[in-house]
Structures are given as C-alpha cells and as structure tokens.
Structure 1
Amino acid sequence: MENLTSQKITEDLLPQEFGKQGKIWVAFLLVLCAIGAYAYYRQLSEGLVVTSMRDYASWGIYISNFVFFVAISLVGSLITAVLRLTNVHWSTPLTRIAEIIAVSAITFASLIIIVDMGRPERFYNLFLHGRLQSPIIWDVIVITTYFFISILLLYFPLLPDFQILLRFKEKTGKSLNKLYSFLGSFWKNTPAQIKISDKAINILSITIIPVAFSIHTVTSWLFATTYRPGWDSTNFGAYFISGAFLVGAGGVIVAMYIFRTHYKLEKYITNEHFDKMGKILVLLALLYLYFNVNEFLVPAFKMKKSEEEHLVGLFTGEFAPVFWFAITTAMIIPILILLFKKGRKPLPAFIAGILVVVGSWFKRYLIVTPTLLHPFLPMHDVPQNYMHYFPSWEEWAIAIGSLAGALLVITFFARIFPIIPIHETIIENEQHEKA
C-alpha cells in the first residue's frame, strides 16, 4: 500500500451510499428473499409435502445449503485467526470481509435448519430435551459457540473505527451516527482499553480455531455416524475441513474483487493480495482434491455392493454430470488458473473464486442426496418418485432466498460499516512510513 495520510485513508474507507447499481442489486436480492418467504409460507401452511423430500431422500437441498453455509463460515477463522496469530499483516484489509461472511453464513446455516424442520414451533425441544449422545446436539452447541465468537471478533476491531466515524457526522448521516454512538459509546481509545481489546481479540482468535475445526468435524459426524454407503467413512472430518477452507477462501476472493471494484479500493486491496490469496486457494484446492481421491478411491477399490451403486451413480450414473461439474469447477479449473502468476491477477482470481464457490455448493448437494438414494437395504415396493430426488420449486426458492439473504446481510454491512478496518490501516500505514 502506498503512503497515505490518515485523513485520506479515513475518507477512502468511510461507508458509501448505494449508487444506482447498488440499489438494483439490493432490490434484486429483496425480490429473491420475498419469493423464498412466500415459498416458506406455503411449506408452513401445506407441510413438507410441497417439497420433493420423501422417506428415503429425507435430507435434500436444505441440508446441502446448511453444509455449504457452515463450510464457507470457516473463512473467519482462516483469515482473522490463523493469519492474525501468525503475524501476517498483509491480511488486514481482508479480516472484516472474512468475518462478515462468516457471521452471515453461520446465521443462515442456523435458519435453514429451522426451515428443514417440518414443525419449527418445536425448535425449543432441541434445548429442553436434547440428548448429549446425539451428534445433532453437538452441532447445535458448537454452531452457537462459533456464532458468538465470530460476532465478538467482528465487533471488537470495529470499536476504534466507531470513534473515527463519529468525527465524520456530516458524511455518515444522523441515523448511522446514532448507531455508531450506541455501539461504541463506551470506547475512549485509552491505552488501557486498547490493551484489553487486543488481548481479547488474541484470546478469541486462539479460541475460534478449535471451535471452527469442531463445527466442521461435528457436521461431518452427522453424516459419518449414519450407517449409509458414501458416509461410512473415517475420512469425513478432514474431508469437510479441507473443503470448508477452500470455499471460504474462494468466497473472500470474490468479495475482495467486488468491493475493490465498486468502492474503488485498489490502493488497499492490491494485486499482491490477490496473488497471495490465489496461492492459498491453489494449496487448499490441491488439499481438497487429495481428500476427494481418498474419499472415492478406497471404496472403489474394495467395491462392496452397496458402495458400488453409490459410486456408479456418481461417476457414470444420474449424478455424473453434477459430480464432474463440481470436481472440475471447484478444484481442477481453479488450480489451472491460479498456478500461473497471470492467473492470480484480480479478474482471473475472481473467476477462479466464483468457480470454487459454485462448484462447492454442488459438491455439498452431492454429499447429501446420492447417498440417501442408495441405502444399504435396497428399495422395494415404493412409489417411483421415492427413488429419485429433484427439489421442488419451493425448495429452490427457499434455498436461493437464503443465499440472497446472506448476500443482503453482507451488502448492508458494507453500507453501514467500513468494510476495511480504518484504525488498523492507519496504524499499519504509519508503521510502514517509519520503516
């Protein structure tokens, strides 16, 4: 980052009002959310019969969405915790982007689980009558813990920025100024407060790493402890974590490019950031590809009858187009793009990130659906539609609406708060000038 004055950095990083494109984007997301809300109303009034889920495919696109949201939320611990603790300063402009993705994703992961319940009014029973022997309760506990740690990791670094924002009342507006005053009223930027805040952030950064690993491991156990072909694997914990790191890093690269382009942040999110994140993404794609080879090669070598039907369905059967699309877009093409320096420029890195995110969503769909349609006990004397699963329009609308909702949270956050930490950027710029 070039040498800039504190005044210039602050003015560049202040939240900006939506332009014409921003208003169109918000309207588009609101329409998708409204359609999803109507579809959910139909599901509540008519019951789960409006979905295509039946006795066998009892987990459908909702659980695929849940696993996707949980996966992409891991980016908060990757960027904020791991890179912060290893004293990697170049990641400073990316920390808040990563944290808001994590918070919005884990919020909608929780909501989509409620949607998946046919009787959401019974949700409280999870807490009143939950059994610790159940991996579902483990998931509830660890998701709740991860959510609150992520909120705190998002909030604490914002405190010094609130004081800066309050000095620019004429640019931020009265309503936002009241919000900043409320959220940061106790912050005086004293040495004692700064020391406590830094210590708290370090503690949270250390804490969130095992919690993040736990949330993805426990989510994988929801599948691995269920005795079904395709899920009966001891590889699932590492398989899920590596995939989560991949999609999280891909999501950050996509957000980096969009914010850099629309908010003119080229001085802060530089080509070097894309180069380094591109290298990280290549490493994670290779790691996830390795676990995919492990996941399919061993059962393919043994080729037990139950596993055979599942693998044939993935590799050459009805799920083959989606399977090869997911593998190609989530791993192979991004590796080929990002291996070369030219591929780690902003635009090609953005394309690679998009491919990773899209391919990873379909990969989660493949983790859930094919296995349910190939149980150990073969299907006999059931209606034909029990043997296949394709989401109904209500399921698609709710799933797309939840994705739009997560994007809407990120969009409004960028409108209300600085998407790049102002205080930390000023400090780093001063340290760079002294050096």
Structure 2
Amino acid sequence: MTQELHITSARVDPDLLDLPWGTALAQWPANVLAALPRGLSRHVVRFVRLSGRVIAIKEISELVAHNEYELLRRLERLDVPSVTPTAVITGRVAADGEPLEAVLITEHLQYSLPYRSLFSHIMGADTATRLIDALAVLLVRLHLVGFYWGDVSLSNTLFRRDAETFAAYLVDAETGALYPALTDGQRNYDVDLARTNIIGELMDLESGGVLDEDTDVIGIGDSLVARYDELWQALTEEESFTRDERWRVNERIERVHGLGFDVDELAMSTEEGGQRVRIRPKVVEAGFHSRRLAQLTGLEVQEHQARRLLADLEHYCAFEENPSVSETHLAHEWLTEVFEPAIRAVPPSQRGKLQPAQLFHEVLDHRWFLSQQQSRDVPIIEAARSYGHSVLPSRPPEQSILGLTPEEAAAADDAAQLLDDDDTDLEGDLADLGPNP
C-alpha cells in the first residue's frame, strides 16, 4: 500500500519528506537520529537532525497530535515557556500495509535538559529545590493565561539554566486545555497532581541511587505547593488601604516586579464612601527584567539572567560622569565594550557549551572568585579567558549534550524505560500519601 502523507505545518520544510515515515519510530535507523538525552514518556520519542537543526518526533494518535499541536501554537502566541510545534504528519503506512500512528514534531529546545539528566550531570544538594521553584513559576504562568495542564510533572518539563536558578518549559500538552480563566478547583487539582507526581519521580531517583536517601522527597513535593501559593497570592490577591496610603499602589507593583512579573493592568475601586481604596492586578505578565534588558540592549535572555546582566549594566553606568549621556547610549556601550568582548574572550571551542547570557553570568561569578583570591579587581576579559581555559573544558556542552553515540543514547533510553515500567510499583506508596493538606 502506498502511503499518502498529510503534513500540517506552520513552518514548511521539504526535507521532512526524506525521513523514513513508513517505519515505526522505534525502529528508525541510528544514522538519522540525534544523540540527545530524553526524558521518560508514555510514547515513543526520537530526536532527529533536519536542515541544520534538531527536531523531536513523538508517535501518538492523530486526534491527540492535532490537539496538542494547536495547543502548543496557542501557548507560543501567549509567550508561555513551551516547546515550539513544527508539524503533524498523518497517513503513515508500513511496508506491509499496516497503518502507523501519526507524529507530532516540535523543535528541540537548545540548552535544555530533562530532570534526570540534570541530576546525573549536576547533582548539587539543592538541585531538586531549584527545579521545583522553576516548575512552580511555570505553573503559575500557565494558570494566569487559563491553561489547565492536567499532567504536571518533572518528566513533562524541560529545564534551562537561568543564572543561579533554572527556567522551566512545558514539553507535553496532550492532556491540557485553554480556558478564558481557571477555577480554583482546576488550579488546585493541577497543583496537587504536581505534588504527587514530583514525590513519585524523586522516589524513583532515590531508589535508583541518584538521589540521597536522606532527601525529604515529601517535603520537596510540599514545597511546590507552598511556592505556588506564595506566587499566586502575590500576583493576584486584592489589597485594601486608606486614601492616605496611596504609596502602597507603587509598593505592590514593585513587589510584583521583584518576582519577575509586570502589572499590565490594575483594577482600582473606592469603598466606605471613598475613604478606602481596593486594588487588584487584572493582567500580570512574566518577564519584567528580560523585557527591560531587551529594550536597552536587544538581548533576549531568561529572567534571572536578565536581572544579573542589568545589575552589571547599572554598575557600568554608575561610573559615567556625564549626566547628559542617555541610558540607551550607555547600554549600547556596555554591550559592545563589556558583554560582547567577554563572550569573545572565551575560546570558540568552549563558547557554545552555555547560552551567552549564562556564560556571562558565570564569568562574573568567576571574576569575583579571582578577585577575592588575588586581592585585586580582575578585568572582565581576563576573567573570561581564565574561565574558558580552567573551568569550561570540564563542563558538558549544554547546547545539546552530544557526548553520546546513538547506541549509547538508545541504551540510556532502554534503562529509562525500565525505570518507567517500575513506576507502577510506586502507585501504592503514592496513594498512601493522600491529598495535600
């Protein structure tokens, strides 16, 4: 039977036609695969090199593929951190005439890693806490735009470094749905499910010897709930104050800015005969510091990276003696005289291991370390060269983590699948945890 492929795509790439669509994804030859770490998935997922980039291909039913594709496109338009959808392909047929499942294709998120790889490569004592913080921020952002996830977990999330923290990205939206606004019940269900899944995933790591047995996995799961509630309250709660306390409006806005969000619209009303004022943020958008940095320099970076780069920019501006020089002009000077030369000072062979903004952040940390060690103010270029020669060579390349051969990647996937199969043994343990109090 001749297959008649149907391709739905917002980004047309004729090279898609050259891939072996008549073969089940699990049997694709190693020469077309990209050796990247994959998280656990209930579906077959493969990474493939195509037209100078890497794409992720997931084999699922046609209805689910189209639904997830549309959801991811809508999240992309809403500027929510998620993988970018590329195409849905249906009409696949095997050589023996058997129909094959549809596939959803997304762009590989460069410099991102699944949580299992982060624990394998980083293994800091606070890695789990930082991942939970990132997931809480992502969940709040999704809920603010009315997205109900329905399957919140570390496995369905990718993580990128963001200065000393991580940024989380939604990678699996097949159980999700977008609404004008979520009810408290929908939000609480997502949060409680996240807690249960996270505890199970950390128990899995613990049983595999990746996580310390002394780690309080239930406490970490509970911290997701606490962090989410803290963020949600700070971003959405109503406040009431007297007319003499109008300064509290700016205080509230500054508090939201401190969390990395911006107030796009504020509802204000008077009560008690005009003696009291009630305020409530109506529209809150993430990325306050990243948008400000982009306006000044054109750099598009993560929120915590932007905060660190803005601090260095402010330090640079503080030494300008001419008060008539504009902030925009100084920002351009900082970009061309500090940021870009520092990145270029790192050897080209090491430069691509981290995002430029993350690399600059770590060079600043290294500069502080050298200055303390040598009791002098070490120039940024010298610090960048030192970091490139003494620290980066031992770091894995986080642009894609290409240190695995296709055979090694396949073996890692087989091991991960065994762990996934063992997850069913945790169901009884998780049921005993009960709902979050």
- TM normalised by structure 2 equals 0.27
Structure 1 or 2: more strand by fraction: 2
Structure 1 or 2: more helix by fraction: 1
Task: Select the structure of larger CA radius of gyration.
Answer: 2
Select the structure with the greater relative contact order (CA < 8 A; seq sep ≥ 6).
Answer: 1
